[in-house]
């Protein structure tokens, strides 16, 4: 691997950011900006179609390759980078190339199952992949874990809850773990009654009380589908069965995850609700780096509340648990239907409560067919999206 050396003789880490213009992508860039000169060399940056933001990042960070996934945005990227000498590309093949360029560390921060192929390409390098893109793991868990095992890649959890649990698990075998606990802020709709929930608008749903995130995950947080996806993500990452994965609503979002051990000890990771902390943990792993995030002021916080989730008002969490226990392609269907539903909700074509309802209907229709390989995963993902579109059209 072609490592370069910084001014102080330290080795530079060659890094790629897939989804560089998003919320997680920008937090990753902020950490690189704040790091000592020469600590990181940027190999590739990608985005979907936000050419202006991507070009601005590329001109500053000077990656070897800059890619927009949407082929039609290629000419705009070419114009924006004209005269810079920077190599650029557009479309699925270019995205694959960006994910495949030799890098020590890749941030997988594309949103949705669209991130699956590039994340697999990054895993094929056999290096470190920091995984934010939970939908890819929910959609194709076995395929992704097999790809990581085959290449010897290390998958590090970026999602704050999973990163917390990963930290708490250090030095312990799974045989000493009774259960893990994912915390959930409860989102912007936590205290709403049924009538208010029925009338939630996209603007309300994306207005998260604690975390600042992209639109899709913000809506998922409001429905609690995000926590459902995270239960599936945790089962895959940590190899634990459903009954050993618990969810607790914790509105302060100070405790991100906990591990209950067999001797009665519970270890938790705490921190400000700021993604730069789990990203920094992954960037420096297995060491630690400096991250200038607000420190948690426990005295100011004064109390930490925990509640059992209400799966009657927020059925998405129950649906995700059911999909995981049904096994086979059920999580693939759940994720695809949810992506269609969230898109329709953000576009004003579906009500807030209609999101979980649509996912439930598609799961009812398609069941849990087996999925043996990546082709079958993509085929089932497409079938589930068509079913969801059909339910939407009939509504």
Helices (H), 88-224: 92-100, 116-123, 134-139, 141-151, 160-169, 194-198, 202-205, 215-223
Stretch that binds Mg ion, among 37-45, 160-168, 294-302, 318-326 (CB under 5 A): 160-168
Of Mg ion, ligand NAD, none, which one sits near residue 24, judging by CB under 5 to 8 A according to partner kind? Answer: ligand NAD
CB of 243 to ligand NAD, least distance (A): 24
Q: Which of residues 82-141 bind ligand NAD (CB under 6 A)?
A: 109-111, 114, 132-135
The item of Mg ion, ligand NAD, none sharing an interface with residue 109, based on CB under 5 to 8 Å by kind, is ligand NAD
What is the Cα 258 distance to its own chain's centre? 19
Q: How many residues bind Mg ion (CB under 5 A)?
A: 3
Alpha-carbon span 333 to 225, nearest angstrom: 13
Select 273 or 329, whichever has its Cβ closest to Mg ion. Answer: 273
Considering the rule CB under 6 A, would residue 177 count as an interface residue with ligand NAD? no
CB nearer to Mg ion: give 5 or 306. 306
Q: What is the C-alpha to C-alpha distance for residues 246 and 288, in angstroms, rounded to an integer?
A: 28
- CA–CA distance, 174 with 188 (Å, rounded to integer): 34
**Ranges within 17-76 binding ligand NAD (CB under 6 A):** 19-25, 47-48, 50, 69
Q: Which is closer to Mg ion, CB of 113 or CB of 182?
A: 182
The residue whose Cβ lies closest to ligand NAD is 22
Helices (H) and strands (E) in the chain, counts: 18, 11
Beta-strand runs (E) in the chain: 13-18, 40-47, 65-68, 88-90, 105-108, 128-131, 154-157, 177-184, 245-249, 255-261, 266-270
CB of 39 to ligand NAD, least distance (A): 22
Stretch that binds Mg ion, among 83-91, 155-163, 233-241, 275-283 (CB under 5 A): 155-163
- Dihedral sign of CA atoms 196, 201, 204, 205 in order: positive
Q: Whole-angstrom Cα distance, residue 363 to residue 237?
A: 23
Quickly tell me which residue has 């998922």 as its tokens: 220
Phi-psi region of 85 (alpha: psi -120 to 50; beta: other; left: phi over 0): left
Tell me whether residue 227 is exposed, middle or buried, using C-beta atoms within 10 angstroms of its C-beta: 0 to 12, 13 to 18, 19 or more.
buried
Position among 135, 159, 220, 274 found at the interface with Mg ion (CB under 5 A): 159
Cα 183 to Cα 35: distance, rounded to the nearest angstrom:
30
Q: Are 43 and 15 in contact (CB under 8 A)?
A: yes
Task: Residue 236: name its binding partner from Mg ion, ligand NAD, none (Cβ under 5 to 8 Å by kind).
Answer: none
Q: Is 104 or 159 the residue whose CB approaches Mg ion more closely?
A: 159
Taking residues 262 to 281 in sequence order and writing x for each that binds ligand NAD by CB under 6 A, - otherwise, the string is -------------x------
Minimum Å distance from CB 271 to ligand NAD?
A: 13
Smallest distance from Mg ion to CB 211, Å: 8
Residue nearest to Mg ion (CB): 159
Chosen from Mg ion, ligand NAD, none, partner binding at 134 (C-beta under 5 to 8 Å by type): ligand NAD
Note the residues at the interface with Mg ion (CB under 5 A).
159-161
Note the residues at the interface with ligand NAD (CB under 6 A).
19-25, 47-48, 50, 69, 109-111, 114, 132-135, 159, 211, 213-214, 216-217, 275
């Amino acid at each position: 691997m072609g490592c370069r050396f910084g001014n102080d003789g330290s080795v530079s880490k060659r890094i790629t950011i897939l989804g560089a213009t998003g919320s997680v992508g920008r937090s990753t860039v902020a950490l690189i900006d704040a790091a000592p000169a020469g600590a990181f060399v940027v190999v590739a940056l990608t985005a979907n179609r936000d050419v202006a933001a991507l070009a601005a990042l590329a001109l500053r960070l000077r990656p070897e390759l800059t890619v927009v996934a949407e082929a039609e945005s290629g000419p705009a990227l070419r114009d924006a980078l004209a005269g810079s000498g920077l190599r650029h590309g557009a479309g699925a093949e270019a995205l694959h190339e960006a994910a495949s360029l030799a890098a020590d560390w890749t941030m997988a921060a594309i949103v949705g199952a669209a991130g699956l192929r590039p994340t697999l390409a990054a895993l094929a390098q056999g290096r470190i992949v920091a995984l934010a893109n939970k939908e890819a793991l929910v959609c194709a868990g076995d395929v992704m874990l097999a790809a990581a095992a085959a290449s010897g890649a290390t998958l590090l959890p970026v999602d704050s809850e999973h990163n917390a649990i990963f930290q708490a698990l250090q030095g312990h075998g799974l045989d000493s773990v009774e259960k893990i606990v994912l915390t959930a802020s409860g989102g912007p709709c936590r205290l709403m009654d049924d009538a208010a929930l029925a009338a939630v608008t996209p603007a309300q749903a994306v207005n998260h009380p604690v975390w600042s995130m992209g639109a899709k995950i913000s809506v998922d947080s409001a429905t609690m589908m995000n926590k459902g996806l995270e239960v599936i993500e945790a089962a895959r990452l940590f190899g634990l069965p459903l009954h050993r994965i618990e969810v607790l609503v914790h509105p302060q979002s100070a405790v991100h995850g906990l591990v209950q051990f067999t001797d009665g000890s519970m270890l938790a990771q705490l921190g400000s609700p700021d993604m730069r902390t789990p990203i920094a943990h992954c960037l420096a792993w297995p060491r630690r780096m400096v991250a200038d995030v607000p420190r948690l002021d426990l005295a100011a916080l004064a109390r930490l509340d925990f509640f059992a989730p209400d799966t009657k008002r927020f059925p998405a969490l129950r649906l995700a648990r059911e999909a995981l226990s049904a096994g086979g392609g059920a999580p693939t269907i759940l994720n695809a239907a949810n992506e269609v539903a969230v898109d329709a909700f953000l576009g004003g074509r579906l009500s807030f409560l209609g999101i979980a309802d649509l996912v439930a209907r598609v799961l009812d229709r398609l069941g849990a067919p087996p999925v043996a390989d990546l082709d079958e995963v993509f085929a089932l993902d497409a079938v589930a999206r068509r079913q969801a579109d059909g339910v939407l059209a009939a509504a």
